[in-house]
Chain A
Amino acid sequence: MEQLTSPDAPVAEVVAIELELAELAADTRTGVVCAYRGALWRPALLGDIAPVHSRVVGITPDVSGFRLRPTGAHGYTLEGSVGFESLRAFTTALRGALLRSPNLQLHCEQLELIDAAAWRAMVETVAAAPGTSVLLKHANETVRAAWLMSGYGDAGVAVQVQS
């Protein structure tokens, strides 16, 4: 990846490249391996970009509990559990996805849960990018219930959660 961008680049820039690659891979049904030389890249950055990949192998431990990645035709999936431990990575991935797809549709068939801190992060991220919106589709009952309980929807936030 150091051939595509500098290891000193902001994480948002790296995520943007990653998502573009992932979209290309999804659209063309091609497998892409993103190789990062461990000595060149900051561990924190590697942790933040891990969730936009379908798999992580190598020497950097993958501690993120979720995946947010394109699945082709401007569709994205959100999988796993989005918790406080991966807030920075989640926010980074969400911002990157909203830049590429301002009316973001997240397919959530494999999403287990989103905690209160992550709902807040989602609401703040969408509010900070006027004109963007997030639609979570096929969310399970727990995700839907937590969203309703949060009450954020009553504040007119451009986030919707559907079964």
Chain B
Amino acid sequence: MSEASAAAVGLLHMIYPYAGTQQYVTGTLAYIEQARSSGAAVLIAAPAERHDALRARLAADDAVSFLDTTALGRNPGRLVPAWQNWIAQYDDGRVVHGVNDVTFPSRGDADDGDARYAEWLLNLAFAKAPAWSLLCPVDTSMHPAAAIDALTRCHPLVWDGAAQQPVADYLTGPYATEDLPEPPASAERLTYRLGDLPTVRAAVARFAQLNGLPVRRTRELTLAVSEVATNSIRYGGGGGTLLLWTQDNALVCELRDDGVITDPLVGQLRPSPTRLGGRGLWFVNQFCDLVQLRSAPERGTRVRLWIDPPSDPERTAREVAAGLGR
């Protein structure tokens, strides 16, 4: 066992399974105090009520900052760029120790696997980054044991409330994502090639409007679908198939083609301003509430985009704005 010290390079990524608020506060504070004693900067991304619980026990200084998790919205695909943004704010040489106390609203089986996958991708995304560490508290009373086990295997380390240990069955990769359930037979279906992109956009806009999506969200969904369809045309055999349906009040658009996407981080990392191209799936992740990408040789690529019902358009606007990193 060792203390929560950062590696020479890359991310020390540890899960902290706890039961109850008392254990959460005690174990998280132990991690924070160890970080502070080593001169590190601490960033806590947590719901507002957690801020109060931790702040009350912390000495007031500039070593600990609390973060607004609005940027993450409902899409686990924004976890990597959010932390990319947050740790980039520290350019004073201090090692960053983060607390990733973020729970994505669940659609049940539809996306639990994608939230776990987003955690696993952090290891990949920051493998060559300057050294930092990230503690991911998870309340064991809120999830089945199997879900906790699966989530634990996405972290190379586990925090026991006082020190870190390796996770024996950590998934080193490649990560096997769960298959997507088949769309309903009633899903609207449309095949497309290059000249059909305006038709694709019109079909998505009509589908969105019929289902009561506000104008701005309609445009965002239309743009997202157009980007994925463009990828089909450019890299997926010249065309593909679009399916549209609603599920649990959400609007779902799935695009299928014969291409294979090999980069697990595609669309997950903020593109460098000087790099031309590589922004299509980045836009998609920022505009959609969930993006499920499945791709394999012989099976082709399926990209399933979710837009949640327009219950709180103002909140969505804040999420998109926050996602810009401004």
- A140 proximity list for chain B (CB < 8 A): 216, 219
Pick the contact of B323 from A117, A141, A149, A155 — CB < 8 Å?
A149
- B181 proximity list for chain A (CB < 8 A): none
Pick the contact of A65 from B198, B233, B283 — CB < 8 Å?
B198
Pick the contact of B271 from A83, A112, A123, A151 — CB < 8 Å?
A151
- Complex CA gap A119/B233 in Å reads 18
Given contacts A83-B201, A85-B197, A146-B223, contact A117 B271 (CB under 8 A): no
Pick the contact of A117 from B280, B282, B324 — CB < 8 Å?
B280
A115 engages B324 (CB within 8 Å)? no
Q: Mark B220-236, 1 if CB is under 8 A from A, else 0.
A: 10110011001001100
- Complex CA gap A120/B227 in Å reads 13
- A155 proximity list for chain B (CB < 8 A): 273-274
- Tell me, rounded to whole Å, the shortest Cβ–Cβ distance linking B282 to chain A: 7
Name the residue of chain A whose CB is nearest to the CB of B321. Answer: A145
B219 engages A120 (CB within 8 Å)? no
- B219 proximity list for chain A (CB < 8 A): 112-113, 140-142
A84 engages B233 (CB within 8 Å)? yes
- A152 proximity list for chain B (CB < 8 A): 273
- Complex CA gap A119/B283 in Å reads 12
- Complex CA gap A84/B233 in Å reads 9
- Complex CA gap A63/B194 in Å reads 10
Pick the contact of B226 from A63, A83, A148 — CB < 8 Å?
A83
What secondary structure prevails in chain A residues at the interface with B? helix
- Residues of A92-117 at the interface with B, using a CB-CB cut-off of 8 Å, are 112-113, 115-117
- Tell me, rounded to whole Å, the shortest Cβ–Cβ distance linking B253 to chain A: 15
B195 at the interface (CB under 8 A from A): yes
Given contacts A63-B195, A142-B223, A149-B286, contact A120 B276 (CB under 8 A): yes
- Complex CA gap A69/B219 in Å reads 23
B272 engages A151 (CB within 8 Å)? yes
- B50 proximity list for chain A (CB < 8 A): none
B317 engages A85 (CB within 8 Å)? no
- Complex CA gap A116/B286 in Å reads 13
- Total interface residues in chain A, CB < 8 Å: 28
- Complex CA gap A152/B234 in Å reads 22
A5 at the interface (CB under 8 A from B): no
Given contacts A116-B227, A155-B274, contact A142 B198 (CB under 8 A): no
B273 engages A154 (CB within 8 Å)? yes
- A153 proximity list for chain B (CB < 8 A): 273
B320 at the interface (CB under 8 A from A): yes
Pick the contact of B279 from A113, A119, A145 — CB < 8 Å?
A119
- A63 proximity list for chain B (CB < 8 A): 195, 198
Between B226, B270, B321, the greatest number of chain A beta carbons within 10 A of the residue's beta carbon is seen for B226
- Complex CA gap A148/B320 in Å reads 11
Pick the contact of A124 from B216, B274, B276, B287 — CB < 8 Å?
B276
Name the residue of chain A whose CB is nearest to the CB of B194. Answer: A85
- Tell me, rounded to whole Å, the shortest Cβ–Cβ distance linking A91 to chain B: 14
Name the residue of chain A whose CB is nearest to the CB of B286. Answer: A149
Q: Mark A115-135, 1 if CB is under 8 A from B, else 0.
A: 111011001100000000000
B128 at the interface (CB under 8 A from A): no
- A148 proximity list for chain B (CB < 8 A): 324, 326
- Complex CA gap A60/B197 in Å reads 18
- Complex CA gap A141/B319 in Å reads 13
B271 engages A142 (CB within 8 Å)? no
Given contacts A142-B223, A149-B279, 5 further A-B pairs with CB under 8 A are A83-B226, A84-B197, A120-B276, A148-B326, A151-B271
